[in-house]
Structure 1
Amino acid sequence: MIENVTIFKDEIDAAQNLAKILPAEHLKELNTLIICSSIDSVLLVDEVAKMIELDYELLFTQPIHAPNNPKCNIAIVSENEEIIVNDELVKAFDISYDFVYSQAKRQYEETILKKIYKFRNGDLLSNLQGRNILIIDEGTQTGMTAMICIKTLIKAGAKTISYATPIIAMDVAMHLSDLTDDIYAVDRISHFIDVNSYYDNKMALGDDEIIAILKNSQRYKKLQKGDNTDAI
């Protein structure tokens, strides 16, 4: 049976559809902070943030690839050096955990720190102790990024954590429901292909275009204090 799923025109269309199913007034009453889970999701998150009138911040993560296979993610590390490991893949490929943790440290130092300076002026995340958080991603296939964000936010003391995305794999949604307070999705897909397959015209924005969105946004505060993007 072929699933009847939504195909979005672009990220703006996806943002509009997602905003419609979010309880905006309730989220505002809770003074909810949106967490954008990836650079690729900035355009969508900025649009949603404007529509539901909430501020957002970026949380940086970086995948760790299997040796000699850049398409296979065996783990993911966040900006506070939390790690999620796919133990099944690590064991199946006979990869040592020493390799995983050494790669996590390298990705943190060589990639994540640069992103923090480039997209957040070198600032830390805001104090999230006791905050109500809504993570937003452009699409969720495996859930690894979602899980590392959730783990990081729990460690940071978030009071509640909800998750929102236009499209999510059904099995991932079921798993994340045990880890979050609420999940909002336009479509939960049983036979998920990949995120790009559910967008007609997904925009491939470069770093300069992302920075322009962040600088011009009234909902992203971390680049409003000055330009530190040449610090890397």
Structure 2
Amino acid sequence: MKLFEDRKAAVSALNELLPLPQMQRESWILIALSEGGIALCQELNVRMKLKVDWLLGESITAPQNPQCELGRVSETEEIVINDDLVKAFGIQYDYVYGEAHRKHEEKILSRIYHYRKGRPLTTLRGKKVLLVDQGAESGLKLMCAIKTVLSRSPDALYACAPVMPKEVYAAVEPLCDALFCPHVLEDYIETSCYYSELEDVSDEMIIKILGD
């Protein structure tokens, strides 16, 4: 089921829900959660010229199954864990925390230097923050981002995605000041299924957006 022709169409759907004049008046900070989220931020920001940044993170996966996501770690080493999966597979929490530290040291830090030249995540204390992604699967990425941003004392935290599973929306909505999503689906497959086209987002484009 294709809901959007491309990311531009997805942003048009989000714009029907987002309080655009308020965002501009209050100088919200747009925080992308993925490469696709960066592209959405750029499209959202065509007229508003708000601050954009990217909250980097990595999946923590099961020892013998890299497709099974047990948790998520952010660039500030905040961690969210799917406790039900960890217990179901009999995985030790020491493994999960060890993997989180390894992913942070080996992958996240190098991406911070590559995309932001080592600059830390922009200051969020006392700011109004909007998390942006092109969709959500398990919700772990979004939950980890919420935990990370809340630890940095924003004035308000909002989140948006053009499409997400009903159960993720229900879990996330109470944690935000507002959650904006035009399509909340009962039977979610994966995010790419809901776009006719998802253009690659180049490193050069990301570096330029974060530099601007």
What is the alpha-carbon root mean square deviation over aligned residues?
Answer: 1.5
Deviation at 1:20, TM superposition (A): 3.1
Local SS of the residue matching 1:178: helix
- Distance in 1 (CA, whole Å) between partners of 2:169 and 2:139 is 8
1:165 aligns with 2:161: yes
- Distance in 1 (CA, whole Å) between partners of 2:2 and 2:181 is 11
Structure 1 unaligned residues grouped into runs of 5+: 225-232
Deviation per residue, 1:133-175 (Å, 9 max, x gap): 0000000122111110010011111111101110011111111
Deviation per residue, 1:155-203 (Å, 9 max, x gap): 1111111011100111111111110000111211111111011011122
Match of 1:151 in 2: 147
Match of 2:92 in 1: 96
- Distance in 1 (CA, whole Å) between partners of 2:206 and 2:5 is 20
Q: How many residues align?
A: 212
- Distance in 1 (CA, whole Å) between partners of 2:92 and 2:11 is 40
C-alpha change, 1:6 and 1:160, in structure 2 (3 Å) is: farther
- Distance in 1 (CA, whole Å) between partners of 2:200 and 2:30 is 22
Match of 1:137 in 2: 133
Residues 35, 206 of structure 2: 8 Å contact kept: no
- Distance in 1 (CA, whole Å) between partners of 2:203 and 2:12 is 19
Residues 116, 207 of structure 2: 8 Å contact kept: no
Q: TM-score, normalised by structure 2?
A: 0.94
C-alpha change, 1:14 and 1:183, in structure 2 (3 Å) is: same
Sequence identity, in percent?
A: 31
Deviation at 1:204, TM superposition (A): 3.2
Residues 115, 206 of structure 2: 8 Å contact kept: no
- Distance in 1 (CA, whole Å) between partners of 2:96 and 2:194 is 32
Q: TM-score, normalised by structure 1?
A: 0.86
1:125 aligns with 2:118: no
Map 1:48-127 → 2, pairs under 5 A: 48-127=44-123
Deviation per residue, 1:54-81 (Å, 9 max, x gap): 2210000100110111111001000110
Residues 169, 191 of structure 1: 8 Å contact kept: yes
Structure 2 unaligned residues grouped into runs of 5+: none
1:27 aligns with 2:20: no
Query: 13, 16, 19: which one pairs with 2:12?
Result: 16
Deviation at 1:52, TM superposition (A): 4.1
Opposite residue 110 of structure 1, the aligned amino acid is E
Residues 6, 187 of structure 1: 8 Å contact kept: no
Quick check: 140-149 or 48-57, which moved more? Answer: 48-57
Residues 19, 52 of structure 1: 8 Å contact kept: no
Match of 2:204 in 1: 211
